Amino acid sequence: MTERTQDWQKRLRGEPPIENGFTSQLERKVRERIRMKTRGRRAPLRMVAAAMSIAVLAGGGWWFKDDIQGLMAKEARSDVPAALRNDPLADTAVELKVQQDSMSSFLFDHYGKKMFIIRHPSVSFRSLTPPAMDASGDMAKWTQAFETWMDEARPDVLQLPYNVYVELAAKGKLLSLESRIKSADVGLDAYYEPVTELLRLGGGGELYGLSASFDTSVVYINRKLFESRNVAFSAESGMTVDEILATAARFAGTGTAGLYGQSGDQTYKIVNFMGETSGLQSVAYQDGAWRATVGTEGWQDIWRKMAEGTKTGWLRHAKPLGNNYTYDDRMKQDAFAQGEAAMAIGGAAYAHLLEEYKSLGQIQDDWIAVPIKPADGAPNQDSFLAPGTVYAVNAASANQEAAWEVVKFMAGREFGKKLLTTGVQSDLLSSRLDVLGADEQKRWEAFYAGAADPAQAYKQLTAAKPSYWRATGVLAEAGAKYMKAVTDGELTAAEALERMQAELDKALPFVGLEVTDQ
């Protein structure tokens, strides 16, 4: 990718400049200066330790300057920096073992750990890597391997996907946080209630972890295009699938697409999303195998509407970009960003992408987001309520209190605000509403106004889905092939779905069985 693209990616990740980064060498220097006894003249010694830590961390770059300033804020007649004065871990030198997990580990290793150390200089960290998932993609099999690893490695702090959080909580392997949350005044009222409810459902009625983020799906609307074509839409109550498709169809023959499908290499993705959001089931894991249920009248209706949209131009699909593409390539083929499509479906990441386009002066957008109203019992409610990493404490940890402090910090307001203001975690939404200012509340209102059912999302997020991505890949490939046959006039929607059902009946039961452990 181009140098410009790489620069954009660094800005999106919020990486501090390497020459001023808080490196492991600096961290060791901090350790050397703060490992001192705190008995006797505790306050002066802690003050010296803090001052020496700050002196070293002052070279830590722009990302931590606010934290260092916060450390130096003093109350009247106090000789200990404010951020350290109430450190519950001040008298304990402890090394915490932290389980690694892709993006959440990136956030913790590059940002959370350093901010935590500034506030709790007696704590150090050691990263532990669990086994990787094998080629079968069998989540149940990987979870079992993870549990075995967890019993042997004994990490203190866990960074878990939601379904693994549920499994471990049910087996008593996670520490209940209920009493600690109450005594620490964590302020659960500040959390987005559906996420908290989802975590409680996963813990059998108790909280065994906290999540700082989640994602959902909304309709992006270009207001100028709607106004110029005299097309109305409902922004307050949200839109059902029928309303989205009917509204998009009003742009037929205008030269503007009513709806843009972003996934150029998966043209069937938006068709399947619309069908499932309206309450239709495409594939499900039943009796130990994957089964398809696409040969129904409901699916025929969705197919007829969307095939007509493709033929008349109110539905536009993105062109496949392939593997080697630049940031500019992606932006230029984005019909919604270029003002050529009135609506698009996406999550939080798309909003940040549009903002990035705008900040670089490459588009002049005027978009708002409108909630989507999924049908009762829609099988994809997890598309509207998907929690990010769940931070939890190993019930077998010998350092439970210190590990709890880490969980509380990573899912807390201070770190959440930092992530929001720097744009580091730009593909998800904050679970804490108290990090949002007035302007941000207005900007993200639709994302928090969705009607997802936590109980339904829980059911779908925890359903046994071995080889899920392989099954949906088979579905997408067949769907794209037969939808093209319909739009080209070779088959009717009913004929195409009948053939597709027969093809999936033969292929899906064997998904995953052909893959062996490597």
47-56, 227-236, 306-315: which has the highest mean pLDDT? 306-315
CATH T-level topology, domain 218-377+467-510? D-Maltodextrin-Binding Protein; domain 2 (3.40.190)
Give all strands of the β-sheet with 386-387 in edge-to-edge order. Answer: 386-387, 213-215, 429-430
Task: Decide if pLDDT at 123 tops 60.
Answer: yes
- Can you give the pLDDT at residue 95? 95
- Can you give the pLDDT at residue 177? 97
Q: Average pLDDT of the chain?
A: 81
Q: Of residues 8 and 375, which shows the higher confidence score?
A: 375
Residues 6+ apart with CB under 8 A from 505: 291, 292
Task: Decide if pLDDT at 28 tops 50.
Answer: no
Q: Do domains 98-216+385-465 and 218-377+467-510 have the same CATH topology?
A: yes
- Can you give the pLDDT at residue 4? 36
Q: Which residue in 367, 475, 352 sits closest to 423, CA to CA?
A: 352
Residues 6+ apart with CB under 8 A from 260: 316, 317, 318, 334, 335, 336, 340, 341, 343, 344
Distances (CA, A) of 168 to 140, 253, 330: 12, 55, 40
* % pLDDT > 70, the chain: 79
Residue linked to tokens 């954009």:
8
pLDDT band at 513 (very low <50, low <70, confident <90, very high): low
Helix (H) or strand (E) holding 367: strand 367-371
Is the pTM here over 0.85, yes or no?
A: no
Among the residue ranges 104-108, 403-407, 426-430, the one predicted with the least confidence is 104-108
Task: Decide if pLDDT at 383 tops 80.
Answer: yes
Q: Of residues 471 and 204, which shows the higher confidence score?
A: 204
Contact 169, 203 (CB under 8 A): yes
Task: Decide if pLDDT at 8 tops 50.
Answer: no
pLDDT in tens, 178-189: 999 988 878 889
- Can you give the pLDDT at residue 352? 87
Domain assignments of the chain as residue spans, ordered by start: 23-86, 98-216+385-465, 218-377+467-510
Residue 173, beta-bridge partner list = none
**Class of domain 98-216+385-465 as given by CATH:** alpha beta
Alpha-carbon gap, residue 47 to 54, rounded angstroms: 10
Contact 373, 451 (CB under 8 A): yes
